[in-house]
Structure 1
């Protein structure tokens, strides 16, 4: 990437930093100087990550908790967080609108009872049908509010250096970074090259990611970086 477009050491993208070692979490603050993290994950993802860290947390949708509250146990001290559920209410409504009434009732019941992963499986056939490219297009169509939230953080100089991430760091994060790079005037070739860097970098944890992906009814395709995602 041409350093005249984006200065080195200002903008980072990655997967969930809460999976990093204590040493690497410290490095993000002391070595890389990260001031701000934009976390694009859903409440369900935060709950599952908190459970991995043995944090007792309510998973029922009937319990009033904000995304920020369930993400709190995952945060790195010394960094300001912005919890922005990139595929938030508008995206969810778009998917839910395609369900039958029976499927919708099942989804609501599972969420209220705290079976969030099982609830996502109700939506997974729709996501499999769309594929990563289709879901990216849908996101651009309906997630304008969330994109605006991200850029509201990005335009404030005091927030830099910034790290942006989701779970895998290639789909919601990759799409957001594409928007940034295109706005800066980067070529399609440069944006595509940056996006495709994710696939080899994620290989060491592919087996674990596949288990997570399959647990919500998705396929191995969702662990990769489709070469036709960048327009």
Structure 2
């Protein structure tokens, strides 16, 4: 992909936890084949900031929030995240979470969009773990700024499903691990 598109910039929207979960990726991934020279610039953007996280926690009932913090203190992060996934994220769905992102992740969104202001940054690739929520939101915003009609923005988003077919099973597993219940699952 780097050679085909001659990427100059990669916007990485993954959280620290998501990066750690991908330990099997080569440590020299960003280096050239032999000389150790960087092949592209990686811009790490913390899209899911503290405001967004606190918004989710505040939507828990008091006993759920208490249990969440106890689990975090006990370093049971994934179990704690499942409480939010099951009780807040699942009921909201992707649309609700994107609305929350627009409200509570403005600084991270701005950081990602500012990359596109630099003509020297192109071509740019933006990615997160799943490729449908955070990176999908950033791409939609770019298309809206470019005044692309909504029907084409929707078509582009749906088209991205094809690229996920080979990793769909692992994506579903990851989503289920954080407590999100999939209501509308493709077979």
TM (norm. structure 1) is 0.70
Alpha-carbon distance in structure 1 between the residues aligned to 2:166 and 2:12: 22
Match of 2:112 in 1: 150
Task: Kindly tell me the number of residue pairs found equivalent between the two proteins.
Answer: 178
Alpha-carbon distance in structure 2 between the residues aligned to 1:155 and 1:42: 24
Alpha-carbon distance in structure 2 between the residues aligned to 1:43 and 1:104: 22
Q: In structure 2, do the counterparts of structure 1 residues 222 and 74 end up closer, same or farther at CA, with 3 Å as the change threshold?
A: farther
For residues 62-100 of structure 1, give each alpha carbon's deviation from its aligned partner in whole angstroms, at most 9, with x where no partner exists: xxxxxxxxxxx4852222111112122111111111224
Matches within 5 A, 1:45-84: 45-50=18-23, 53=24, 73=27, 75-77=29-31, 78-84=39-45
Match of 1:126 in 2: 88
CA contact (8 A) 2:113 2:138 kept: no
Match of 2:153 in 1: 191
Please give the root-mean-square deviation of Cα atoms over the aligned residues, in Å: 2.2
Unaligned runs of 5+ in 1: 1-26, 56-72, 225-231
Correspondent of 2:99 among 128, 137, 157:
137
Q: In structure 2, do the counterparts of structure 1 residues 172 and 221 end up closer, same or farther at CA, with 3 Å as the change threshold?
A: farther
Match of 1:107 in 2: 68
Matched, 1:94 2:55: yes
Unaligned runs of 5+ in 2: 32-38
TM (norm. structure 2) is 0.85
